[in-house]
Structure 1
Amino acid sequence: MPDLALSVLDLVPVRSDQTSADALAATLDLARAADRLGYRRYWIAEHHNMPAVAATNPPVLIGLIASATERIRVGSGGVMLPNHAPLVVAEQFALLEAAFPGRIDLGIGRAPGSDPVTSWALRHGAGGVSDEAVTRFPEYVDNVLAMMEPAGVGLALRGRQHVLRATPGATSVPEIWLLGSSDYSARMAAAKGMPYVFAHHFSGSGTAEALDLYRSTFQPSDLLDEPRTFLTVNVSVADTAEEAHRLALPQLLQMLSLRTGAPLAAQRLVEDAETIVDAGLPPGHDELVEAMRRRWVIGDPATARAQLADLAASYGVDEVMVNPVGSAFAGADPRSARARERTLQLLAD
């Protein structure tokens, strides 16, 4: 894949044999591997109150990962803006950019990234991610963009004009992307002239339509002259296709629980996932698992590389962001994610 850039999406999964500290140690090792292997960027998701996901605070994780790596771009995939005051996001990423100039990405999303109770708690008990916060999302995005500019933004308050800056003495700003899984986000990114990423790894449908809408309605801006986008996909690669499919099974079951409303748990080990499947899934669930499996890239290195190249060609992108989903076998080192590292290594070789 000589003309295809590869990047990484990380939800910091927590397996049943791991603590949060173990999962973070594994993520840092994975980020170092991505840096060493030449991956373009490493993005951290934002999810809350989920037993298998430790990516609750992208800015904190971005600081840790950028400190542990040397050249790879590090960013959010993404910060769910309705959960946060725009000034706080602008301040966090302005400081990250000051500490690691030219290496920080700010991906912004509109979804809450959690259940309604946690969303309520994120807003200090003030009604959760309210309809107003979602409705004003375009305004909040504009505020973040303006506040991070070195000159800041003018704020009229009580009859006086004030200058508001995310940080004093800024000399650069992060690369800012709009993320989404609907036509809404594609249309908004096009109207604002922003780079855009559709969550293909999560949605799996509507990708072509969203990207076509983004490209066909794009308006050039100070940020961008022409449309810029890439593709995200769930990936499990191993020396053999059989092993790759075994390693992907725990995450397939996790996504099945999410889509069917079943209770969530820490990511299972491979043997535990196989025991559940061998015992038989509820009616209709086999078909759901198989439908997800077909949208993921799972296989040996040659097959996986060919599938990624085909996806990139189909959607007209020159970059693919892989979410390495492989779990682990019983007895694995809890402070490592060997299957996930192996996926990155085999794709890069």
Structure 2
Amino acid sequence: MSPAAPPVLSVLDLVPVRSDQSSGDAIAATLALARVADEHGYRRYWLAEHHNMPAVAATNPPLLAAMVAGATGRIRVGSGGVMLPNHAPLVVAEQFALLEAAFPGRVDLGIGRAPGTDPVTSWALRHGAGGVDADAVDRFPDHVDHVIAMMSPDGAALRLATGDHVLRATPRATSVPTIWLLGSSDYSARLAASRGLPYVFAHHFSGRGTAEALALYRGHYEPSADHPEPRTFLTVNAVVAATTEEARRLALPNIRSMVALRTGQPLRASQLVEAAEADVPAPGHQPLIDDMLHRWVIGSPGEAAARITALAAEHGVDEVMVSPVAGAFAGTPADRAPAREETLRLLAGAL
């Protein structure tokens, strides 16, 4: 039996902000990173949605996706994902239909139902739209259906006493973005299966429950006209460098940030490598650090390629989306992320 083909690679970007960067620097670094992904054959480039986090500038996926699409020529762009309860469905439909009109055949709309932030910021996001948290989350399936309908050429009809009022995200749509449902539990897996939609489990975030969620999705999948077969891929955090030792050093700043997030410490911009090395973790945090070092793809090009190929085979996928989480050393240009760029170059070369 011939060996399985290596998986196709894609990118998930949270637009990290280092302690030596402004938000503008972080965005410039993301555009440079996207150009590297485009040049090296990565399939898609997704931007996350997070709010009120000092270490993350990805607050607005459609705006960032437009910037990335304009800075690249081939790669698909999209959201990983838009947190739909934070937004009116028509606004999301209009944003991504407009992206598709400008960059036809290159746009993905990944949709999630998590807040992507703390409870207070979540309230501020949703209260401004006239809704409440519970209502926005409970109506998530309906809102997904509304977004899909409003982006179609026929639009979505609202039944009024005076007759139907049709809502269209763009006046004359000739194509629509590909819709993906995202999740870290079995809820979105079931919903995606019932709607015949592509689905992605947040393996990079939790690392647990992936096999069960994918089995549930595949086992309950109801074919749709656009997607007769279930469609999914794997997401992983990755740091690739010339040596394993260097990769582990470059992973430290992001590991420190994740430990802070999960233990309720104050959030701050991502440390430089030297600061992260000098910051001795509390003894009780070491198991968290060890778990991330074990789950993430951290190593030399050969090691990383072998690990990603094995993960793809284990979960039965032909695409792996990497979140390049390498930090930076002191003296790195503020508007670039060389270690993140090198992660993409080395990984593409090894696969």
Same fold (TM over 0.5): yes
Given the superposition, is the C-alpha separation of residues 270 and 129 from structure 1 closer, same or farther in structure 2, using an over 3 Å criterion? farther
Cα deviation 1:207-226 (Å, max 9, x = unaligned) = 00000100001010123101
SS, match of residue 123 in structure 1: helix
% same residue: 70
Structure 1 residue 124: Cα displacement: 4.1
Describe how 1:32-71 pairs up with structure 2 within 5 A: 32-71=35-74
Which residue identity does 2:184 align to in structure 1?
S
Partner of 2:306: 306
Given the superposition, is the C-alpha separation of residues 257 and 194 from structure 1 closer, same or farther in structure 2, using an over 3 Å criterion? same
Residue number among 105, 115, 119 corresponding to 1:102 in the alignment? 105
Partner of 1:315: 315
The TM-score normalised by the length of structure 1 is 0.97
- The question of whether the paired residues in 2 share the 8 Å contact of 1:14 and 1:54 is answered with yes
Structure 1 residue 126: Cα displacement: 6.3
Partner of 1:331: 331
Tell me, in whole angstroms, the C-alpha distance in 1 between the residues paired with 2:129 and 2:256: 35
SS, match of residue 279 in structure 2: helix
Work out whether 1:173 is the aligned partner of 2:176. Answer: yes
Cα deviation 1:243-297 (Å, max 9, x = unaligned) = 00000011011111111111111000000000013xxx22320011101111100
- The question of whether the paired residues in 2 share the 8 Å contact of 1:83 and 1:129 is answered with no
SS, match of residue 108 in structure 2: strand
Which residue identity does 1:17 align to in structure 2?
D
Partner of 1:344: 344
Which residue identity does 1:90 align to in structure 2?
A
Given the superposition, is the C-alpha separation of residues 127 and 143 from structure 1 closer, same or farther in structure 2, using an over 3 Å criterion? closer
Partner of 1:239: 242
Cα deviation 1:321-346 (Å, max 9, x = unaligned) = 00000010011101000000000000
Given the superposition, is the C-alpha separation of residues 271 and 127 from structure 1 closer, same or farther in structure 2, using an over 3 Å criterion? farther
Which residue identity does 1:6 align to in structure 2?
L
More moved, 154-163 vs 265-274: 154-163
Work out whether 1:283 is the aligned partner of 2:283. Answer: yes
Tell me, in whole angstroms, the C-alpha distance in 2 between the residues paired with 1:137 and 1:293: 34
Partner of 1:24: 27
Residue number among 122, 128, 133 corresponding to 1:119 in the alignment? 122
Partner of 1:249: 252
Partner of 1:91: 94
Which residue identity does 1:156 align to in structure 2?
R
Tell me, in whole angstroms, the C-alpha distance in 2 between the residues paired with 1:3 and 1:332: 32
Structure 1 residue 127: Cα displacement: 7.3
**What runs of 5+ residues in structure 2 fail to find an aligned partner?**
none
**What runs of 5+ residues in structure 1 fail to find an aligned partner?**
none
Work out whether 1:269 is the aligned partner of 2:272. Answer: yes
Q: How many residues align?
A: 346
Structure 1 residue 178: Cα displacement: 0.3
Residue number among 6, 10, 23 corresponding to 1:3 in the alignment? 6
SS, match of residue 283 in structure 2: coil
Name the Cα RMSD after superposition.
1.1
Structure 1 residue 154: Cα displacement: 1.1
Tell me, in whole angstroms, the C-alpha distance in 1 between the residues paired with 2:312 and 2:173: 36
Tell me, in whole angstroms, the C-alpha distance in 2 between the residues paired with 1:292 and 1:58: 26
Tell me, in whole angstroms, the C-alpha distance in 2 between the residues paired with 1:229 and 1:245: 29
